[in-house]
Amino acid sequence: MAPSVSLLLLPGLAGGADCWGQPFLADLRRAGANPLLYAPPRDYSFDRAVAAAAAQIERRGAPCAVLGWSMGAEVALRLALERPELVGALVLCAACADQPAQARRGAALRQLLEAPWPRWHELLMQAIMPQSLRARPAAARNFMRLTAARRTPDDALLWNAQREALKAAPPLGPALPRIKQPALVCAGEHDLLFPPEEVEKLAAALPNARFRLFPAGHAVMYDRPEELAQTIAAFLAAVV
């Protein structure tokens, strides 16, 4: 891979520019990628999120590789459909082409989308908790306390707007064959929200995608930061 390949990172629901974890960002840089951090617009809608991502890439003098995690993968796919000239390659982690339909099939996602605030955020934090903490009750409780401490009234407004946008989003499945960019689709075998077979369906629907399964949960970058970074680097080396 050429030095410092730019990779725009689009976070998932209730995530911001600081959600990726320093180990993963450091591993990306060591592998030869230049992670570009992105914060979702405060007046959230998918249209505004796509426009903000497009503007950031344009300022860099695009095209650019784009990594979308969970809800961020939906933004990445919409960006590739609406502004294909800006997207050189896609990396999609814990992604699904029709999240409302997956919610009807999966109890964990359905509960997250239907629970009141702040319960739904607690369920989300439980789902993204690093696997290394799950067998350590004290560490797991501390993780939940720390994530609860981050919640503010302003966050609640943004995150609830994101969730409502996600619940109302039309399925992307019919449009996926139009996405011609090379794509790496990553899943965690222990993902509580998007089982790997659902993520693999997305990879199968994209014309130029490869699928990779990790021994991880919903947040692969927390559980396997170095392995994920190296996998992304190898993919980008082959396609950028």
Is residue 162 one of the residues assigned to a domain? no
Q: What angle do CA 170, 172, 175 make, to 5 degrees?
A: 130
Is residue 114 one of the residues assigned to a domain? no
Task: Report which of 52, 54, 160, 74 is spatially closest to residue 113, judged by C-alpha positions.
Answer: 160
Q: Quote the CA–CA distance of 16 and 211 in Å, as a whole number.
A: 26
Q: Quote the CA–CA distance of 92 and 68 in Å, as a whole number.
A: 5
What total of structural domains would you count in the chain? 1
Range of the domain at 217: 5-99+170-239
Is residue 156 one of the residues assigned to a domain? no
Q: Quote the CA–CA distance of 58 and 86 in Å, as a whole number.
A: 7
Q: Quote the CA–CA distance of 11 and 93 in Å, as a whole number.
A: 10
Is residue 48 one of the residues assigned to a domain? yes
Is residue 196 one of the residues assigned to a domain? yes
Per-residue pLDDT tens listing for the chain (240 residues) = 445 789 999 999 999 999 999 999 999 999 999 999 999 999 999 999 999 999 999 998 879 999 999 999 999 999 999 999 999 999 999 998 887 778 778 889 999 999 999 999 999 999 999 999 998 999 999 999 999 998 999 899 999 999 999 999 889 999 999 999 999 999 999 999 999 999 999 999 999 999 999 999 999 999 999 999 999 999 999 998
Q: What CATH number does residue 193 fall under?
A: 3.40.50.1820
Is residue 32 one of the residues assigned to a domain? yes
Is residue 129 one of the residues assigned to a domain? no
Q: What is the dihedral of CA 75, 79, 81, 86, to 10 degrees?
A: -160
Q: Scanning the structure block, which residue is given the tokens 């396609």? A: 239
**pTM of the prediction?**
0.95
Is residue 145 one of the residues assigned to a domain? no
